[in-house]
Amino acid sequence: MSAETPTRKEIVADEIVVGPKKLTRFEKARIIGARGLQISLGAPILIRLKKEMTDPIIIAQEELKKNVLPLTVSRLLPDGSYQNIPLSWLLKGK
């Protein structure tokens, strides 16, 4: 028997087609958590730090707020199609 592998089709558009126009709370939590882990493991910090900023999660939140993270969010649909959305679009609500 041959198992069929589902094919994924990318949705290419100049605007957000899949999901809400803003970053969801789940995406935000995932981004902040992943970036906080990177910072705690020694990744370079992309913003200027204030003296009281020592927690990696707080630093990650500030990086997200200042829109300096070069990330792309991939949103999937049940049919297997997906859209890769630049983080800057989601923070603007484009």
What is the per-residue burial (b if ≥16 Cβ within 10 Å, else e) of 45-71?
A: beeeeeeeeeebebbbbbbbeeeebee
In a domain, 51, yes or no: yes
Domain interval for residue 65 = 25-92
Question: Residue 49 is part of a domain; what is its CATH number?
Answer: 3.90.940.10
C-beta of residue 40 within 8 angstroms of C-beta of residue 15: no
DSSP summary character for residue 76: E
In a domain, 4, yes or no: no
Q: How many domains does the chain have?
A: 1
Tens of pLDDT, residues 5-53: 667 899 999 999 999 999 999 999 999 999 999 999 999 999 999 989 9
In a domain, 13, yes or no: no
In a domain, 43, yes or no: yes
In a domain, 39, yes or no: yes
- What's the confidence (pLDDT) of residue 84? 95
- What's the confidence (pLDDT) of residue 94? 57
d(CA 90, CA 92): 5
In a domain, 49, yes or no: yes
Q: What beta strand segments (E) does 1-94 contain?
A: 72-76, 82-86
DSSP summary character for residue 50: P
